[in-house]
Amino acid sequence: MSAQPVLHAELVDYEINLLEIVGRVSSSESGAIATFTGLVRELDHGRRVTELEYVAHDSATRVIGEVAHDIAAKHSEVMALAIVHRTGTLRIGDVAVVVAASAAHRAAALGACAEAVEAVKTLLPVWKRQVFDDGTDEWVNSP
């Protein structure tokens, strides 16, 4: 019987530290750690972005925990999984999200990491507002 995976899922309103999160999923048993880092990009459809604001629904803290739990349950070889999403106002190059998964071997770590990123994108009740260099703004994915 395998040990329960170590899960760490949270929304934070401060700078995300990738190495700190890698440390959380690392153990003497893990032979592979896969990470994903999502950054604020300067160009969106050719328009220059100056800042990005992320806002979360009240349920986001619960949902991010459920996502971590479900992905780890599906990938039984995963030893630890961390998902951290930032909220508030971010600048170009700031880290918006980090996912890190550890396992004995790379395939499980990479698979769980990729799937967790997709789940965050579709299931997490978080929105982002892009502010452009001409002063206009838009909520991404909304008409």
- Positions touching another protein (CB under 8 A) are 38, 54-55, 57, 59, 85, 96-97, 117, 120-129, 139-143
- Distance in Å, CB of 138 to another protein, minimum: 8
Instruction: Give CA separation, 119 vs 52, 91, 94, 114, 132, in Å.
Output: 21, 24, 21, 9, 27
- Distance in Å, CB of 30 to another protein, minimum: 24
Instruction: Give CA separation, 1 vs 5, 76, 77, 90, 112, in Å.
Output: 12, 11, 11, 43, 20
Decide whether 20 or 118 has the Cβ nearer to another protein: 118
Instruction: Record the tokens describing residue 129, joined without a space.
Output: 């507002």
Decide whether 75 or 85 has the Cβ nearer to another protein: 85
- Distance in Å, CB of 10 to another protein, minimum: 13
Decide whether 60 or 78 has the Cβ nearer to another protein: 60
- Distance in Å, CB of 94 to another protein, minimum: 13
Decide whether 103 or 124 has the Cβ nearer to another protein: 124
Contacts of 46 (CB under 8 A, 6+ apart): none
Residue 112: how many other CB atoms lie within 10 Å: 28
